[in-house]
Chains A and B, each alone.
Chain A
Amino acid sequence: MPNAILDPTGRTSHRAPAVLAKRPADLSGAVIGLLENTKKNAVEFLGELGRLLVERHNAAGTVLRTKTNFALPVSDELRDEFARDCAVVITGVGDCGSCSASAVADGVTFERAGVPAVVICSDAFRTTADAMAQRQGAAGYRYLTTPHPVAPLAPDQIRQRAEQLLPQVVEILIGQSTVEGSA
């Protein structure tokens, strides 16, 4: 049976409208923050994306950190560390209901802290991810999905998934908007 419900909504009440972080022109020389949420294969998935960004987009390197709990929001300390040390952040993998909601909340948090962010969820959890975006005052927040489930994938499958998502990751990190219909 499940334990008590953990609350990923965190800092949610009466938020200002979504504000997007300013995007870099490219990722050359950028330090890529990777926030993995402890879900199986999350560190492998994010690590592969980071490796590809270094190899193909001349990113300077990666900083990998781990959330204390996949269902809870990123801590203020980690948010501030990424905002100070990283040009962009990739977070995930939202491979369950609470962690997909939490990942989207984290993405919005990073954007509001001035760090362009990419959130990766598995496609079974669009409903919870969208609901969290709306609750955060960021309806239409753009996140990336990969087919569910991620947990049982083998290393070569993880590499393949990362390869498939890479163009969209770059597009979001250096693009103009991750919130449709927001100022």
Chain B
Amino acid sequence: MIDAGKLDTVRETLAADGYLLDVREADGRVAVAISATPDACEDCLVPKPLMADILRDALGVDTDAIDLTYPND
């Protein structure tokens, strides 16, 4: 179950570096897309394994149920 408060915190953290977060649930999986705004800070996005750790807490699912997409994917 998604913790809206924690997810908002993740969203705010990403926004501080100029990134946007989109989350969609379907069939027991969660698709998370992180996109860059024109002002996004280069190299400021954490690597996917660390982001997955952060999202696991916010989304309430194991990391292997998270389909994470980064801007350059």
Q: Which residues of A contact B (CB under 8 A)?
A: 1-9, 69-71, 96-99, 101, 124-128, 131-132, 134-135, 148-149
Across the interface, do A97 and B71 meet the contact criterion of CB distance under 8 Å? Answer: no
Chain A residues with CB below 8 A from B54, complex form: 127-128, 131
Closest to A149 in B: B16
Closest to A4 in B: B72
Chain A nearest CB from B56 CB (Å) reads 10
Across the interface, do A97 and B46 meet the contact criterion of CB distance under 8 Å? Answer: yes
Do A2 and B43 form a contact, CB below 8 Å, given A97-B14, A127-B10? Answer: yes
Closest to B16 in A: A124
Which of A6, A7, A71, A134 touches B53 (beta carbons < 8 Å)? Answer: A134
| Bound-complex Cα distance A132 to B17 (A) | 17
The count of chain B contact residues (Cβ–Cβ below 8 Å) is 24
Which of B13, B36, B50 touches A124 (beta carbons < 8 Å)? Answer: B13
| Bound-complex Cα distance A132 to B51 (A) | 10
Chain B residues with CB below 8 A from A148, complex form: 16
Across the interface, do B41 and A96 meet the contact criterion of CB distance under 8 Å? Answer: yes
Across the interface, do B72 and A97 meet the contact criterion of CB distance under 8 Å? Answer: no
Do A135 and B50 form a contact, CB below 8 Å, given A1-B71, A1-B72, A97-B13? Answer: yes
Chain B residues with CB below 8 A from A70, complex form: 43
| Bound-complex Cα distance A54 to B32 (A) | 48
- The 8 A-B pairs with the shortest beta carbon distances in the complex, nearest first, are A96-B44, A124-B16, A7-B47, A127-B13, A131-B54, A97-B46, A131-B53, A71-B43
Chain A residues with CB below 8 A from B14, complex form: 97
Chain B nearest CB from A140 CB (Å) reads 15
| Bound-complex Cα distance A4 to B43 (A) | 7
Do A8 and B47 form a contact, CB below 8 Å, given A2-B40, A2-B72, A135-B53? Answer: yes
Chain B residues with CB below 8 A from A97, complex form: 13-14, 16-17, 44-46
Chain B residues with CB below 8 A from A134, complex form: 53
Chain B nearest CB from A9 CB (Å) reads 6
